[in-house]
Amino acid sequence: MDSKEESELMEVERMDGVTIVHADERLDASMAPKLKSLIKELAQEQGVKLVLNLQKTRLIDSSGCGELVAALKTVFKNHGDMKIANPTPQANALFQLTRLHRILDIHESLESAVKSFQ
């Protein structure tokens, strides 16, 4: 069953057993704590399959980068997995520059990220 709910400024959707978090336009020092709280809550589910959709995200600062790594660690700790979907060109450039593309599983589309869990 598919469902949607709002969490602060981020929408959470469940599709085919995968939890999708649609991030806001900014993933910066003001949004990182909100993402951290949301990921911590979602990661309580043993083996959570999580996709972070960055389609609308235009700005990611150092706090946002740090939170992406922390989120991955939090999810892994509870035997889950996390994928990144729809990164903007700016996000892709940042991931290359910071070498985060080496540790994040990045997919060009939401469909690809969801399917990668099967």
Looking up residue 68, the CATH number of its domain turns out to be 3.30.750.24
For residue 10, the model assigns a pLDDT of 84
Which structure tokens are listed for 97? 């520059």
- Number of structural domains, the chain? 1
**Domain housing 20:** 3-115
pLDDT, tens digit, for every residue of 21-67?
999 999 999 999 999 999 999 999 999 999 999 999 999 999 999 99
Mean pLDDT of the chain: 91
